[in-house]
Amino acid sequence: MSNASAQTSAHPAAHKVVIIGSGPAGWTAAIYAARAQLEPIVYCGVPKQDPGPVLPGGQLMLTTEVENYPGFEHGIMGPEMMEKFRKQAERFGTKVIEDDIARCEFSRTPGKPHTLHPADGKPVQAHAVIISTGATANWLGLPNEMRLATTGGGVSACAVCDGALPVFRGQPLAVVGGGDTAMEEASYLTKFASTVYVIHRRDSLRASKIMQSRFMDRPNAKVMFNKAVVDVLGDEKIEGVLLEDTVTGERSTLAVKGLFIAIGHTPATKFIKDSGIEFNEKGYVALKSRNSYTNIAGVFAAGDVADADYRQAVTAAGMGCQAALDAERWLAAAGVH
């Protein structure tokens, strides 16, 4: 018996692949892994508030109509898309467990599987692990903001995803934030909106000068300094925002038909903080070159948890494909069949 075979047979209870996370990256990885007969297990997570909503299926669960994913010429609702992804993965034999992975013990010993600790259940072992837990948008935490974000009421955390929808075209829109991301989102919205207001709680923007100029040079761009959003107005659809001057405390109302929160994202990596996984300067999982390999053998990452630049469904799905292919090749080289 070869060393690789001996290592594999010594851990018969270990799964070949466990996928943590259930957004476009996780489900795509599951589809590829299942079709490669790797018998993947997906821990899809459970709903929680963080402080905004975090749902199994990722950010698309908070998106109404998705128009920029190839193959859906008339668009598709975000939750419906994720349900289709899940059913396709299950069709090929993926096992789905509705639980979170709370902690990981990644092995550094060749042939010894990794140990994962679910929040509600016994530890599980896996020869290969794909981390695809995504990144959550940072929200203001206002009750009406959360309500309208989850019901398609015109509040979003991704202008590139939602800004081109018909409901926003020709309308006054607002972006909350002051960094490069906010400027990029606001500049994108100027293509469609009648006016784009950038609302920033300080007297100067944090964005680079070139990003500021790119936005402010647009004829329909306006910046509101020293203003904080303290309430989102509207019942079924947003009608405006209540602003408070951060210097004087004076309150005012700004009528808008869309509100885009651009105050950053937080990668969902808390459960691997002490696992030995390396992170980049922004706190996202660090990858080797253009593949999905992390610094630990047999551990791969895909989607927004390792992507601070694009954060799109289609790029996440592509990374999920890469992770499954990389895991398959790694398992074959390790003698795991």
What is residue 74's three-state secondary structure? coil
Other Cβ atoms less than 10 A from the Cβ of 235: the count is: 10
Give the active site residue among 100, 104, 161, 304: 161
Other Cβ atoms less than 10 A from the Cβ of 276: the count is: 15
158 is catalytic: yes
Are 4 and 111 in contact, with CB atoms under 8 Å apart?
A: yes
162 is catalytic: yes
Give the active site residue among 44, 100, 104, 158: 158
DSSP-derived letter for residue 336 is -
161 is catalytic: yes
Are 275 and 171 in contact, with CB atoms under 8 Å apart?
A: no
Task: Kindly tell me the burial class for residue 219, based on how many C-beta atoms sit within 10 Å of its own C-beta (0-12, 13-18, 19 or more).
Answer: exposed
DSSP 282-295: TSSBP-STTSSB-S
Q: Which residues contact 80 (CB under 8 A, 6 or more apart)?
A: none
The H or E element that residue 103 is part of is strand 101-105
Beta bridge partners of 285: 279
Positive or negative: CA dihedral 88, 89, 92, 93 = negative
The torsion defined by the Cα of 94, 98, 101 and 102, in degrees rounded to 10, comes to 180
Report the amino acid identity of residue 269. T
Give the active site residue among 44, 100, 162, 326: 162
Q: Which residues are catalytic?
A: 158, 161-162
